[in-house]
Structure 1
């Protein structure tokens, strides 16, 4: 027989946004329940060294998330190792169903399910993830000082990442499968004018190459989309920038979304189009996508939820 758990605040997701929301909601005596999801700790659990988290010169991503989880537990958050498979936002209390069969009833919901980088789907890419293959230049670019790197993609994200990497790398090669970029014109102008940047048009990635002991990227094998000619590009880092996919499947038909699935929030707020439902972190942020901004939004969401509950259940 399935169990039913009730809470004033249900937090779905366990990255920086979810755990920060949990800390603030717990301190407000709202007795939140946090459901961790399929990847407890979120994207930081697949990041090695984090050097842009204030207060830590360097910290391992998984270690940081362990500390956040411990903090949330310490202040009283009930943390469930479960994954929400269905969510009904049609009426309050809202009703979520976990993969375990547990039903969660909540007076308010904070969506903190994050977003995942889109990958190329190559076995070699999977092999070198975290060892030369990255989807975040602002996270990992610092490690490629004076080295050659490659960026894959042709949109705003790819161009922004390529430009950012010129601060560190000796050379940045942008590989794009078409003969023109989708990025904004102003970004393209900056890219074309940068002497560190080389663009390889009409090429698709075939394979990431490297060493197994120690594990590390040494190059990239690309194929011309018309002629089929193979080119080898020496590099130490490969940055995949072909977009992010917000994890909004649970709510895509229930709350307003835009830009390919990101949840719309009211300006200056984390409130969604459904009263009592709030969104924090990468699920609602197509621009910054940083751990620190996600944590800030988690704080905002908890405060917004506290205010909503006081006004509606007072």
Structure 2
């Protein structure tokens, strides 16, 4: 009787994280008729909710990041996916089932888990960065750009996000300094062409930030060092926007799951980790590139693989 009670409360799949990878997994899990719950501690959508424009999602030539989030979310809700707003504090693997522990102590039992916690903005680690966070230092142009309308800002980075947000800020700020440690950008060619053509953007290449200066009102300037000549100079600015990559949010990855040296989860082609029944998708998973379309694909693959895993487990249990 106890086992039946436990089985009735058990999920086929628990998805941890509500970004594109997690929501995509939710869609495919519901289509596979799995008893599924998605747990997200904040607003569903992940990093794309902070993106002004998305121009590289196949089939949609241009869409706002928040709007695309809503499309993912509404699609998942169409299949009646259970979505709980809560924080997962740990994922505990087991032999018969896995447990997901929520803030407050509630324990959920499940046959399989898809980890989709995403990533977080990488910090520069320079003096003044953390002290001035929220007082002129930001990691999200679409969140905070409004506060710098008509002012001067510094953008740090050379990838797609840095270029996209420099272009976004150039539309509302008087001047944008784009600081990059190399002499060429890593971002896509089309974005580079737009940056080069924008008169309000001044390139500061082969350079890094050494220091962020501030007064009682917030950021007042930065010290920039040329990595080739080691010469430094000061740039007066009202704000600093930092886009130097992301780190995987791997705090919930259980012990025993294989990760690479950078902290990304290593999986097979099914997005399954080294622990059976536990899958990793999106920005936390080791792969060649992090793009929305790849995160969505991860979610699809992991959900289909999880469905097969759970069906196999149930069939084996029925034969015993």
Q: TM-score, normalised by structure 2?
A: 0.72
The alpha carbon displacement at 1:57 in A equals: 2.7
Which residue number in structure 2 is paired with residue 141 of structure 1?
163
Aligned mates of 1:272, 1:294 — CA distance in 2: 16
* 2:33 match: secondary structure: coil
Aligned mates of 1:239, 1:161 — CA distance in 2: 15
Matched, 1:206 2:232: no
Aligned pair in 2 of structure 1 residues 136, 287: CA closer, same or farther (>3 Å)?
farther
Which residue number in structure 2 is paired with residue 309 of structure 1?
310
The alpha carbon displacement at 1:161 in A equals: 3.5
Which residue number in structure 2 is paired with residue 178 of structure 1?
none
On the 8 A contact 1:8/1:108 being kept in 2, the answer is yes
The alpha carbon displacement at 1:35 in A equals: 0.4
Equivalent of residue 258 in structure 1, options 245, 253, 260: 260
Aligned pair in 2 of structure 1 residues 151, 272: CA closer, same or farther (>3 Å)?
farther
On the 8 A contact 2:180/2:207 being kept in 1, the answer is no
Aligned pair in 2 of structure 1 residues 162, 30: CA closer, same or farther (>3 Å)?
closer
* 1:263 match: secondary structure: coil
> What does the per-residue CA deviation read over 1:26-59, in whole Å, with 9 as the maximum and x for residues that have no partner?
0000021100134532111222222222233322
Aligned pair in 2 of structure 1 residues 92, 163: CA closer, same or farther (>3 Å)?
farther
On the 8 A contact 2:120/2:249 being kept in 1, the answer is yes
Give the length in aligned residue pairs.
277
The alpha carbon displacement at 1:78 in A equals: 0.9
Which residue number in structure 2 is paired with residue 73 of structure 1?
77
Aligned pair in 2 of structure 1 residues 62, 134: CA closer, same or farther (>3 Å)?
farther
The alpha carbon displacement at 1:70 in A equals: 1.8
Equivalent of residue 109 in structure 1, options 101, 106, 113: 113
1:232-243 correspondence to structure 2 within 5 Å: 232=235, 240-241=243-244, 243=245
Equivalent of residue 150 in structure 1, options 165, 175, 178: 178
Aligned mates of 1:258, 1:73 — CA distance in 2: 34
Equivalent of residue 58 in structure 2, options 36, 54, 69: 54
Matched, 1:169 2:172: no
Aligned pair in 2 of structure 1 residues 169, 207: CA closer, same or farther (>3 Å)?
farther
Equivalent of residue 46 in structure 2, options 27, 42, 50: 42
Q: Which runs of 5+ in 1 are unaligned?
A: 173-195, 209-218
Aligned mates of 1:165, 1:67 — CA distance in 2: 25
Aligned pair in 2 of structure 1 residues 114, 171: CA closer, same or farther (>3 Å)?
same
Aligned mates of 2:300, 2:88 — CA distance in 1: 22
Aligned mates of 2:160, 2:95 — CA distance in 1: 40
Aligned pair in 2 of structure 1 residues 201, 149: CA closer, same or farther (>3 Å)?
closer
On the 8 A contact 1:142/1:168 being kept in 2, the answer is no
The alpha carbon displacement at 1:286 in A equals: 5.2
> What does the per-residue CA deviation read over 1:136-192, in whole Å, with 9 as the maximum and x for residues that have no partner?
8435635739996524456xxx952497753332289xxxxxxxxxxxxxxxxxxxx
Matched, 1:126 2:129: no
The alpha carbon displacement at 1:253 in A equals: 2.3
Aligned mates of 1:228, 1:252 — CA distance in 2: 46
Q: Which runs of 5+ in 2 are unaligned?
A: 1-7, 125-129, 146-152, 215-219, 316-320
Equivalent of residue 86 in structure 2, options 69, 82, 85: 82
> What does the per-residue CA deviation read over 1:37-92, in whole Å, with 9 as the maximum and x for residues that have no partner?
34532111222222222233322212221221221121121111111001101333
* 2:123 match: secondary structure: coil
The alpha carbon displacement at 1:249 in A equals: 0.7
Aligned pair in 2 of structure 1 residues 28, 207: CA closer, same or farther (>3 Å)?
farther
The alpha carbon displacement at 1:203 in A equals: 4.4
Which residue number in structure 1 is paired with residue 293 of structure 2?
292
